[in-house]
A and B are shown apart, each in its own frame.
Chain A
Amino acid sequence: EAGVAQSPRYKIIEKRQSVAFWCNPISGHATLYWYQQILGQGPKLLIQFQNNGVVDDSQLPKDRFSAERLKGVDSTLKIQPAKLEDSAVYLCASSLDPRAEAFFGQGTRLTVV
């Protein structure tokens, strides 16, 4: 079974630039999560999708972050404009449904300079 795929693995951008991350969940998984993991901290949920609808985006900085999940499969997370404090690993995870175990991708490490 293929796992959660994320790209790119690494990204370096200057502050005020924009960036996008892509996630392809495990086939058939209806629930998709984006987590932000700042160095030295545990992952923090940014947004949770159920199919193509948003379930929880309470901790998403909506003035600069946006996410979509078209057709309930792949998802993209965008930051525009980026700030230095956005430097982190962005993890995508998916599960069959909200109650099932979540499987994580390898994440994208973003460095904002």
Chain B
Amino acid sequence: AQTVTQSQPEMSVQEAETVTLSCTYDTSESDYYLFWYKQPPSRQMILVIRQEAYKQQNATENRFSVNFQKAAKSFSLKISDSQLGDAAMYFCAYRRTPGTYKYIFGTGTRLKVLA
């Protein structure tokens, strides 16, 4: 069975600085997607960034980028120029393709941004 591990329960970063959140996963599949979701206190899960496993190039969305190491089964999220609005829970998620395409989430990392 696939598993997703986030080993950092909580991280802090100074405003305008850079922070990296870690995620590892375990799977025997070769075709899958990986995601980072943000969950603010409003509880709504918001997609931050997505990576297709067959793509070697790391995904980037504005201040957010990933370091995808397929052989190591590692998928870290880098947030540059951190802003107060980035404070939230961040969840790493795996989605197998094909199949039911259900998301498997990690336990989350709480990010605090210090002014």
In the complex formed, the residue of B with least CB distance to A109 is: B43
Count how many chain A residues have C-beta atoms less than 8 Å from C-beta atoms of the other chain: 25
Q: Which residues of A contact B (CB under 8 A)?
A: 3, 31, 33, 35, 40-45, 48, 55-56, 89, 91, 93, 98-99, 101-102, 104-107, 109
B105 touches A42 (CB 8 A): yes
Q: Determine the main DSSP class of B at the interface with A.
A: loop
Query: Which of A3, A93, A107 is most buried by chain B, counting CB atoms within 10 A of its CB?
Result: A107
In the complex formed, the residue of B with least CB distance to A89 is: B43
Q: A61: shortest Cβ distance to chain B, in Å?
A: 17
Contacts of B101 in A (CB 8 A): 31, 98-99
Count how many chain B residues have C-beta atoms less than 8 Å from C-beta atoms of the other chain: 21
What's the A-B contact tally at a CB cutoff of 8 Å? 51
In the complex formed, the residue of B with least CB distance to A56 is: B100
**Whole-angstrom distance between the alpha carbons of A112 and B47 in the complex?**
30
- Of all A-B residue pairs in the complex, the 4 with the closest CB atoms, nearest first, are A42-B105, A104-B45, A98-B101, A56-B100
Q: Which residues of B contact A (CB under 8 A)?
A: 4, 42-47, 50, 91, 93, 97-98, 100-108
B102 touches A93 (CB 8 A): no
Q: A38: shortest Cβ distance to chain B, in Å?
A: 10
A91 touches B45 (CB 8 A): yes
Q: Given contacts A42-B107, A98-B100, A109-B43, could you give 14 more A-B pairs where the C-beta distance is less than 8 Å?
A: A33-B102, A33-B103, A40-B108, A41-B108, A42-B106, A43-B103, A44-B105, A45-B104, A48-B100, A91-B45, A93-B45, A99-B101, A104-B46, A107-B44
**Whole-angstrom distance between the alpha carbons of A42 and B102 in the complex?**
13
**Whole-angstrom distance between the alpha carbons of A55 and B44 in the complex?**
24
Residue among B44, B103, B106 making CB contact with A45, cutoff 8 Å: B103
B4 touches A42 (CB 8 A): yes
Contacts of A105 in B (CB 8 A): 44
Query: Which of A31, A33, A56, A98 is most buried by chain B, counting CB atoms within 10 A of its CB?
Result: A98
19 contacts between A and B (CB under 8 A): A33-B103, A35-B103, A42-B4, A42-B105, A42-B106, A42-B107, A42-B108, A43-B45, A43-B91, A43-B105, A45-B104, A48-B102, A55-B100, A56-B100, A98-B100, A98-B101, A99-B97, A104-B44, A109-B43
